[in-house]
Structure 1
């Protein structure tokens, strides 16, 4: 019988990579933790200017499954859903699953397209299809082959207030990123794009240009929370995955925040506690001041008011005080 995606996910070689990056960052002064490339900051332990230059040469396959989303919008959650969908659809035998896991380990590929050494894109050519490729990059920083290929891109968005709060806790708990002394200092950096992967609002503005693209689908964190089964069905239909009703319910159950948090020690080691914090909607109310609320509302309105993406995100439902 083909092996379930849950056991596959637990054995993806995230652990060693994370443990290594944590130990490497121990002696790194905060000012050396980030580097700037084309005006955007990135974690120096996980990437390099040379890697981001080499990224341009990445060759997309038409059956690649591309997942895009700004940090802390739920990309690990989405990735797990999509891996479960893909392996259920493909009906891999135990042997095939083993081969796929071993290929990832042997080729030392990363969980994000922009991570790793400059030689990673050559090694990725040896991965078996279908490759599931995740990235935090906005469209203008993706390799040209992604937008030119027939590969489909699923873009995850989350309300900017919860994203800001989730990223704040992540930033302060993640050893490879410099900590902030206060929420106010962090909020200013978030609004001005002075964080790893730059400005979230800019990221959204750019993806909004692709909202009607036939090979790109936008899905929101909040709609996946509201009705996981319906969200998972939409994703399956978009990528052409064929599953039965009970599969959708099984995947929804296995990918609840609680289920993933409980397995996180095994799947992500020390990183688990940092990655899986609360997984709720509306947590921004704990930290935002009245002035910060107004600043974010105004910025969102100026940059995205009236757009299809704003409607998709239901800003008025999730972000009004």
Structure 2
């Protein structure tokens, strides 16, 4: 284990957010007992995690959908590797839904039982990069970077929480046959939220009435989530993690924001590395809102 960095903790070749990581918990993850009806939401950071945590909360919990209980999304769908609120994961009632940024090789062995469902949400990596840059400059537990040029190098080298984006998505995709997993893109969710919620429900074998489906879709729009304190992680940032300035966990949630930030040269460099690393990779990436 490499402890040289103030913000990153490298455990078995993967970078964790050091200031909120409990190493004992990491060491027990592999043997964590999985139930058949557990659900894991897996993402690389800044790929639509909170959005999908909210969607899953709305699908699974009537009391979240009807706002009869004021439980934060982060406690409905807690982070598996960062148990910030010290929840009792072992005795949580079923169905347990976890969010995770883990690479395929660090998840509990029980996930290979093929019964437990994994939903993998991916996003075009240029937008991930820009979102991560802003987020790292805002949240006190991540290292701030003055320029996008500097952050681009860190991101491409995997010197960020989550390590290399390319390794994360390729690892999960190439080992997809070991798991019961569905891949869904952030951009598809943006373009057709209702259709995406239906796909998620179908994969998870959850049937919703038309009325409940409408309620999920309505509450899971970006604007509605941004104004929902349960979903915007507001308390966690302000009280527990700390921020360098005022802001929101959910920033823009758009497709193609990278065009406003990357220079032609930076974009060409990114494209070159993307082509080299993602050769023959079958998942489609949408780089611009106007693409079909």
In the TM superposition, 1:92-103 aligns within 5 A as none
* Alignment of 1:241 onto 2:234: no
Equivalent-residue separation in structure 1 for 2:156 and 2:179 (angstroms): 31
Task: State the match for 2:51 in structure 1.
Answer: 77
Equivalent-residue separation in structure 2 for 1:261 and 1:241 (angstroms): 26
Shift of 1:40: 2.4
- Note closer, same or farther for the CA distance 1:195–1:286 as it changes in structure 2 (3 Å cut): same
- Note closer, same or farther for the CA distance 1:253–1:319 as it changes in structure 2 (3 Å cut): closer
Task: State the match for 1:159 in structure 2.
Answer: 124
Equivalent-residue separation in structure 2 for 1:211 and 1:139 (angstroms): 9
Task: State the match for 2:243 in structure 1.
Answer: none
Equivalent-residue separation in structure 2 for 1:52 and 1:70 (angstroms): 18
Name the one with the larger helix percent.
Answer: 1
Do the aligned partners of 1:282 and 1:318 also contact (CA within 8 Å) in 2? yes
Equivalent-residue separation in structure 2 for 1:266 and 1:157 (angstroms): 19
Task: State the match for 1:6 in structure 2.
Answer: none
Task: State the match for 1:112 in structure 2.
Answer: 79
Shift of 1:263: 1.7
Do the aligned partners of 1:71 and 1:167 also contact (CA within 8 Å) in 2? yes
> Structure 1: which 5+ residue stretches go unaligned?
1-29
Given the alignment, which residue of 29, 51, 54 partners 1:55? 29
Do the aligned partners of 2:57 and 2:77 also contact (CA within 8 Å) in 1? no
In the TM superposition, 1:127-276 aligns within 5 A as 127-211=92-176, 215-264=180-229, 268-269=233-234, 271=237, 273-276=247-250
Partner SS state of residue 219, structure 1: strand
Shift of 1:248: 1.9
Deviations 1:209-239 (A, max 9, x none): 1456671100000000001000000000000
Shift of 1:318: 6.5
Shift of 1:265: 7.6
- Note closer, same or farther for the CA distance 1:182–1:314 as it changes in structure 2 (3 Å cut): closer
Task: State the match for 1:294 in structure 2.
Answer: 268
Equivalent-residue separation in structure 2 for 1:41 and 1:194 (angstroms): 8
Deviations 1:267-294 (A, max 9, x none): 5325383311111111001111112211
RMSD between superposed Cα atoms in Å: 3.2
Do the aligned partners of 1:112 and 1:135 also contact (CA within 8 Å) in 2? yes
TM-score (norm 1): 0.77
> Structure 2: which 5+ residue stretches go unaligned?
239-246
Do the aligned partners of 1:111 and 1:133 also contact (CA within 8 Å) in 2? yes
TM-score (norm 2): 0.85
Task: State the match for 1:280 in structure 2.
Answer: 254
